[in-house]
Amino acid sequence: MVTRADIENMYEKAKTAVVKATNLQQLDQVRVEYLGKKGKITSVLKTLGQLTPEERKEIGQAANKIRQNLESDITDRQEELSREEVAKRLAAESVDISLPGRERVYGHRHLISQVIKEITDIFIGLGYKVAEGPEVELDYYNFKALNTPADHPARSLQDTFYIRKAGVHPADDDIVLRTHTSPVQIRVMKSQEPPVYIIAPGRAFRRDVPDPTHSPMFHQVEGLAVDKGITFGDLKGTLEEFSRQMFGRKSQVRVVAREAFEAGIAEDGPQIRLRPHFFPFTEPSAEVDVRCFACGGVGCRICGSGWLEILGAGMVDPNVLIEVGYNPEEVSGFAFGMGVERIAMLLYGVPDIRMFFENDTRFAEQF
């Protein structure tokens, strides 16, 4: 028969095992050994029915008290071990403040995006709104609606990426990567009545052989103004104001041109010129050139003649106005389109257009 002394001795052994447990798993093994279904103290309680009433009272009270005390001891030790494990884990995960910090690298807009924003800000200040359209266009919007039908020789100037369909080619519903952002002008005019004052920035695609001034993918900003009484003088004044704001005294163009003039290798004069040209959707038309930043107007491998073409412009052809449902007897307008890469080259002295698309961070980080 188990005596009161046996139970108290059992408790002392269990209490010692609780104190010696170094982790929660060992502590649980002690709990199972003494308080589990087949544990030592539980077994004593199961044999109380075999004892006399006096013995049952004495042994039962002692066993229940020891069980309660042991449960309390296990709970206290469990909390203590949990705190120790958390402290160890935090110590292992803590930051070593003696190590040098890691610098966070922040990106910024690509140079092309910066120039597009500069151009956009200028024209917004002149009262224009920004319009956008799809880069994958229909032949109708890219050519036919812009007074360039299927047999027009001007199409040969824009070698084009087509997704051809069965049947006659080219057709109005042929799918093409747009060769300019001018289709946006058609979409806008078909969606609203005059007056229209918009610019259309975006990407364009042509099957050009890459060289210092050409790329199969490039960026344009097209502009359109349609209203009553618009003349070529309005176009010229708009382009002059844009050029004044875009190519200010701090620009690379003016600095190099002035240095070339002072060195006696270039003539002084305007930094921008208009010369007659032909575009199917404008009449009359002109191209706007800026003095080459590399040679100051003398002529080099980049420009050839001392000037770099930056945009084409002209009065909107009456056929285009009729196509979109406008009356050319009531309204007139002008349109222009500029190459963003060439403007960026002029402003920042970039010698090769291909550098914009090579993804060299050493180049991009300079701007």
Is residue 28 over pLDDT 60? yes
Is residue 286 over pLDDT 80? yes
Is residue 273 over pLDDT 50? yes
Q: According to the model, what pLDDT value does residue 219 have?
A: 94
Tokens standing for residue 264: 């006696």
Is residue 191 over pLDDT 60? yes
Q: Assign 37 a pLDDT band (cuts: 50, 70, 90).
A: confident
Q: According to the model, what pLDDT value does residue 112 have?
A: 93
Cα–Cα dist 124/244, whole Å:
15
Cα–Cα dist 66/240, whole Å:
100
Tokens standing for residue 363: 């180049």
AA identity, residue 51:
L
**Average pLDDT in the chain:** 82
**Domain-wise residue ranges, the chain:** 4-93, 111-364
Please tell me which residue, 321 or 212, carries the higher pLDDT value. Answer: 321
Give me the mean pLDDT over the 135-160 stretch. Answer: 77
Give me the mean pLDDT over the 187-204 stretch. Answer: 95
Out of 111-125, 159-173, 273-287, the most confident range is 111-125
pTM for the full model?
0.64
Question: For residue 49, how many C-alpha atoms fall within 13 Å in the half-sphere facing its CB?
Answer: 2
34-54 burial, b at 16+ Cβ within 10 Å, e below that, comes to bbeeebbbeebeeeeeeeeee
Q: According to the model, what pLDDT value does residue 18 have?
A: 84
Q: Are 165 and 171 in contact (CB under 8 A)?
A: yes
AA identity, residue 121:
D
Give me the mean pLDDT over the 19-24 stretch. Answer: 86
Give me the mean pLDDT over the 277-304 stretch. Answer: 79
Residue with the two structure tokens 């103004």:
225
Cα–Cα dist 38/49, whole Å:
17
Cα 317 to its chain centre, rounded Å, is 37
Q: According to the model, what pLDDT value does residue 332 have?
A: 95
In angstroms, the first-to-last Cα distance of the chain is 93
Model pLDDT for residues 74-97, shown as the tens digit of each residue: 888 888 888 888 888 777 766 666
* DSSP states of 261-326: HHTTSS----SEEEEEEEETTEEEEEEEEEE-TTTTTS--TTTSSSEEEEEEEEEEPHHHHHHTT-
How many residues are there in the chain?
367
Q: According to the model, what pLDDT value does residue 199 have?
A: 96
Q: According to the model, what pLDDT value does residue 50 have?
A: 74
Q: Assign 22 a pLDDT band (cuts: 50, 70, 90).
A: confident
Domain 111-364 in CATH 3.10.20.30: no
Give me the mean pLDDT over the 324-340 stretch. Answer: 94
Q: Assign 164 a pLDDT band (cuts: 50, 70, 90).
A: low
Q: According to the model, what pLDDT value does residue 250 have?
A: 46
Residue spans of alpha helices (H) in 94-125: 111-125
Q: According to the model, what pLDDT value does residue 264 have?
A: 55
Q: Are 253 and 347 in contact (CB under 8 A)?
A: yes
Strands of the sheet with 175-177, listed across from one edge: 136-138, 175-177, 162-163
Is residue 187 over pLDDT 80? yes
Is residue 367 over pLDDT 50? yes
Integer-rounded Cα radius of gyration of the chain: 42
Q: Assign 255 a pLDDT band (cuts: 50, 70, 90).
A: low
Q: Assign 36 a pLDDT band (cuts: 50, 70, 90).
A: confident
Pairing of strands 217-227, 175-177: unpaired
Q: Are 269 and 325 in contact (CB under 8 A)?
A: no
Pairing of strands 196-205, 129-130: parallel
